[in-house]
Structures are given as C-alpha cells and as structure tokens.
Amino acid sequence: MDIEVLLDRIFLQPLTLGVLELPFNLLELILQFFVPLLILTGFYRLLSVATKRLLKRTSISLIIQQRIVRWVKVALRLVYIVLVALLVGRLFGAKIFEYLQRFYEILNQPLINSGNTRVTFITVLLTIPVFYLASWAGRATRGVMRNSLFSKIGLDEAQQFSIASLTRYTVMVLVLLIGLSIIGIDLSALTVIFGVLGIGLGFGLQSVVSNFFSGLIIIITRPVKEGDRILVHGIEGTILQIRMLATVINTLTNESIVVPNSKLVQESVHNFSFYDPSIIIKNEIGVSYSSDVDQVLNVLQDIAERNPYRHDGKKCWVFLKEFGDSSVNFTVYTWIQSANDKFTAHHWNNVEIWRMFKKHNIQIPFPQLDLHYRSKFGD
C-alpha cells in the first residue's frame, strides 16, 4: 500500500465512535484541539508560577499570599474550562448539540433494568458526586461538632471521638441513601446486594466484614482514638486516622502504616495515652566502684529534674539497681508529660549524664577481664 494512501486514511478520514461518525478527522483533532490545549496548559502553569514568584517579592503576609494564590488558581481554572469548551465547540461546529444529544442517548442506554431500577452509564457517573457529597457531609458534620458543640458540652477526648465518628458515618449513610434514591436507584435493590454479600462471605469477605465490625467496636468502646501513641503487632506510632476497615498509624520514622482494625481488637494493644499521656522513662547507667555513691545519686537526680520534657507534677527517682561485675549500676526514672516525647527525653537524659559525669569526674567503666596465667612448671 502506498504510504500517502495510508497517511490519508489515518489522518484525513473522518473519525468514528461506534456507529457515530464524527465531523472531524485525526489531523483536525490534533491541530484544532490538542495543540491549542497544550498551549493553554502551558500558559496556565506559567501564570500560576509567575503569580507565586511575584507575590514572594512583595511584603504581603504569607497567609494573604496563600489566599491570593488560591483565588488566582480558581480564576485560571474557570478560564481554562471555558476555553476548553470553546475548543470543543469549534471542533464540532454547528452540530455540537446534535452530537451531544446522540452522546446522551448512548450513555442513557440501560446497563441493568430490574424492577424499578434502571442503571445507565449516566447513573454510574452520578454516583461519583453522590459518594463525594456523602463523604464531605460526614467530615463537615464531625468538624462542626468538634469545633462548636463539644466545646460547650465538656466531654473528654475519647467521648468526643466516639460521638463524632458515629455521627459522621450516620450522616454519610443517610446522604448516600437519599442521593442514590434521587438518581434513580431503587433502594429495595440493596437487599439483593446484601444477599450477594452473604454469599461472598464464604469466598473471602470474612476479613472485610471482620474489619468493619472491629471498626465499629473501636468507635464504641474507645480502646484507642486518633492521636494516641500505641504499640501493636510490633508497630509503634501515633494514630492518624481510624477508618471503618483499617487504622492509619504514623511511625517514628514518619511512615504511614495501615493496620486492619481486627488487629486492634483481637491482639493486645499497648496504648501509651489511654488514660494519661504522661509516662515514665528509664535510663540505666553504670559507674566505677571508686565513685562516690551519694554524689552519683545527686547528679542523676538533678539531671532528671532538669529534663525539659519532665512532668512538673510528678516526682523523679534514682535507685542503685545492682552491683555488677565491672560497675555499680543505677536506674533513673523520669516522668515526662507525653509519650510522644519519650525517645527525645531519653536522649536528653543520656547526653546530660555524659556531660555531668565528665564535669564531676565520675567514671563510666567498660567491661574488663583479668587473666591470670600460671605455668605447669611453677613459673
């Protein structure tokens, strides 16, 4: 086949979408739509970056700059959408409404037609904003309750978490059911879904259902809540978010670990801040046998009381733990305000112990072994 004929068929023949013939070819689509779209995208990004750089050179506060950038982005996006719509209108010409009508008829073809339920492509597309609206309504309700209602009632954090979470998911379900009924999905068809779910339990959904009900148990009984420092399944970190199926934990190395809710219910959970966020940290140190015990006790006591993370209302203790093989071993117990600071506070104590021991000439011995050699000849 001649190369010119092949190129003509590829670029100059009108494009088709199923049985629908479009009023443009591939070359027109590239030149009249994709090339201008690429230029528009470049201008959009260029103006966004230029706005940020210009604002940085001014004396306007950072908060005002962020607001200006946000509104400029909104304006640019609106202009971008309008220009893209104009490009599409130019591409289709005067027949654009005719083609929109045909597209609508194609998308409105039923995928599922059972009883009073008629599901089309449009119905499926409309479920996206319904789910988004349900999620937004749940988050907004929880935010309003935390910021306005709870501050007046005087509930503790655990009770606030339980009530806010239950209210959030209740609002989400209600908005979801109302939205699905509005877009034409018969809610009686949900019984079929639950029947399929029941069958699916025997094919691997047990863990999903287990995690779901474990999430409800966590919300109601409050063994953990968002912001708690926990240790579970060998993972230590702070709870960022409790979802219906899993809990997100931020570890000490700033890694986000998703733990199934069933792990938090079925296994032992070490909650450092269940009743009280303050904990005791323990530093162990050995000194030489030639050291003054009273001096060591006073130095260690002073270090514990000067710890910047110490709980002011709690007392610190220093104990002589044992007489070791090479050292006299002491243990320092320090109350700190938050479990989140335990490693930092432990580090501060160790560094200060090193500095104060050097200042007061207190020796930290290292293990040593004396070897006595005796010859069989009696030397």
Give residue 345's pLDDT band: very low, low, confident or very high (50, 70, 90).
very high
* pLDDT over threshold 90, residue 355: yes
Residue 201 Cα distances to 197, 212, 275, angstroms: 6, 13, 37
Q: Which has more pLDDT, 281 or 94? A: 281
Predicted confidence at residue 322, as pLDDT, reads 92
Of 321, 288, 280, 317, the residue nearest 300 (C-alpha):
317
- Start-end of CATH 2.30.30.60 domains in the chain: 207-271
Q: What pLDDT, on a 0 to 100 scale, did the predictor assign at position 51?
A: 86
Block residue for tokens 């954090």: 157
Whether residue 239 is predicted with pLDDT greater than 70 in this model: the reply is: yes
The tokens of 32 are what? 């009249």
In this predicted structure, the answer to whether residue 327 has a pLDDT above a threshold of 60 is: yes
* pLDDT value of position 354: 94
In angstroms, rounded to a whole number, what is the distance separating the alpha carbons of residues 193 and 347?
Answer: 55
Residue carrying the six token digits 């877009």: 183
What is the pLDDT at residue 319?
A: 94
CATH class of 207-271: mainly beta
Residue 115: the pLDDT is 58
Q: With b meaning 16 or more CB within 10 Å and e meaning fewer, what string describes 164-183?
A: bbebbbebbeebbeebbeeb
Check residue 130 and give its pLDDT: 86
pLDDT (mean) for 355-372: 83
Mean pLDDT, to the nearest integer, of 36-46? 89
pLDDT (0 to 100) of residue 369:
66
Q: Is the pLDDT of residue 349 over 90?
A: yes
More confidently predicted of 87 and 99: 87
Lowest mean pLDDT among 72-86, 199-213, 251-265, 285-299: 199-213
pTM, full prediction: 0.49
For 279-359, CATH gives 3.30.70.100
263 CB contacts (<8 Å, ≥6 apart)? 232, 233
What CA–CA distance (Å, rounded) separates 60 from 48? 17
Domain with CATH 3.30.70.100 in the chain: 279-359
Rounded Cα distance between 301 and 334, Å, is 9
CA 241 from chain centre, in angstroms, equals: 7
With 80 as the cut, is the pLDDT of residue 133 above it? yes
Does pLDDT of 1 surpass 60? Answer: no
Separation CA 32–CA 28 (nearest Å): 5
The larger pLDDT score, comparing residue 126 to residue 297, is at 297
The single-letter code of the amino acid at 19 is V
